[in-house]
């Protein structure tokens, strides 16, 4: 895939390609207060990519953190994903959690992956085929191989070092009030504020009606510099939205601070700003 996103028209035109695999990367548990009417349907033929319970390190107390490449490979094979698969990921909020799934495949060395711009809402709006989500489907085992790219993820130690060196620009995708430390964090037990030296580009500013803004508009919003970019948010999910936006305007290299504010905000020995 030459672009990190594809349109619903592109996917509709490529549905019969046997190499195309559609993954539903919706975060089901997060949507008790975000009813869209799309919770129980999926794009016809899609497979559920469970970020929270299957494609993360569930032994880690932090949410949504990277699992081992071997475990990712095992679970991807169970979904019938192959080395030659063309993967299209989407979610039922338009653009929310699907960029995280995209990034997971990227860091595991699979380049042929894209996010469905507009996700399930856009697909339904265009009248394309959907179906009820099946229970416990089983797929033919794939031959996916994970080839981990460690440069695409950062640890708290690396972030702490970067505060001193300023070698990279740290971009926080959270809402402005959270970045400024106004009010409490949605997760209990976390301090309010942001990592020193980071800049705030709320992911919501990069979207309109569940789709990415046109490139010419993204260029006017996104800070550009020759330095590498590191993305952070609450738990490593919406950081990937900002990352893809930069990908759309041709900025490299980029990485994600996987622990994000859920890790940084609970550790009293780490510095914060408001």
3-state secondary structure 96-145: CCHHHHHHHHHHCCCCCEEEECCHHHHHHHCCCCEEECCCCCCCCCCCCC
Nearest to 257 by CA among 248, 270, 268: 270
Domains of the chain by start residue, with CATH: 5-148 (3.40.250.10), 151-264 (3.40.250.10)
pLDDT at 28: 82
What is the SS3 assignment for the chain? Answer: CCCCEECHHHHHHCCCCCCEEEEECCCHHHCCCCCCCCCCEEECCCEECCCCCCCCCCCCCCCCCCCCHHHHHHHHHHCCCCCCCEEEEEECCECCCHHHHHHHHHHCCCCCEEEECCHHHHHHHCCCCEEECCCCCCCCCCCCCCCCCHHHEECHHHHHHHHHHCCCEEEECCCHHHHCCCCCCCCCCCCCCECCCCEECCHHHHEECCEECCHHHHHHHCCCCCCCEEEECCCCCCHHHHHHHHHHCCCCCEEEECCHHHHHCCCCCCCCEC
pLDDT tens digit sequence for 20-46: 999 999 998 655 445 678 989 999 999
The encoded tokens of residue 9 equal 């028209």
- pLDDT for the residue numbered 187: 92
The confidence score (pLDDT) of residue 1 equals 85
Residues 6 or more apart whose CB falls under 8 angstroms from that of 236 comprise 64, 65, 100, 256, 257, 258, 259, 260
User: How confident is the prediction for the chain on average, in pLDDT?
Assistant: 96
Is residue 229 scored above 70 in pLDDT? yes
Provide the percentage of residues in the chain whose pLDDT is more than 90: 91
| pLDDT of res. 14 | 98
pLDDT at 225: 84
**Average pLDDT score over residue span 97-113:** 98
Split at pLDDT 50, 70, 90, the class of 150 is very high
In 3D space, the residue among 121, 116, 100 whose CA is nearest the CA of residue 21 turns out to be: 116
Catalytic residue ranges:
233
As a whole number of Å, the end-to-end CA separation of the chain is: 40
């Amino acid at each position: 895939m030459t672009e990190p996103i594809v349109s619903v028209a592109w996917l509709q035109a490529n549905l019969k390609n046997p190499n195309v695999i559609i993954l539903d990367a919706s975060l089901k548990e997060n949507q008790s207060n975000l009813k869209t009417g799309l919770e129980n349907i999926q794009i016809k033929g899609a497979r559920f990519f469970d970020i929270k319970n299957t494609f993360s390190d569930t032994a880690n107390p932090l949410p949504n953190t990277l699992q081992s490449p071997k475990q990712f490979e095992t679970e991807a094979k169970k979904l019938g994903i192959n080395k030659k698969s063309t993967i299209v990921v989407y979610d039922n909020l338009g653009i929310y959690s699907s960029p995280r799934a995209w990034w997971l495949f990227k860091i595991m060395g699979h380049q042929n992956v894209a996010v469905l711009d507009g996700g399930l809402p856009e697909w339904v709006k265009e009248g394309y085929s959907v179906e009820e989500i099946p229970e416990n489907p089983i797929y033919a085992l794939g031959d996916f191989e994970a080839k981990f790219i460690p440069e695409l993820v950062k640890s708290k130690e690396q972030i702490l070092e970067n505060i001193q060196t300023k070698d990279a620009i740290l971009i926080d995708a959270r809402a402005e009030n959270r970045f400024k430390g106004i009010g409490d964090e949605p997760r209990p037990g976390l301090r309010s504020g942001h990592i020193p030296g980071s800049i705030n580009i709320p992911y919501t500013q990069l979207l309109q009606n569940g789709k990415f803004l046109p490139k010419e508009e993204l260029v006017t919003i996104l800070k550009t510099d020759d330095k590498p970019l590191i993305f952070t948010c609450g738990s490593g999910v919406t950081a990937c939205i900002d990352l893809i936006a930069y990908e759309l305007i041709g900025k490299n290299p980029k990485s994600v601070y996987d622990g994000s504010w859920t890790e940084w905000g609970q550790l009293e020995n780490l510095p914060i700003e408001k």
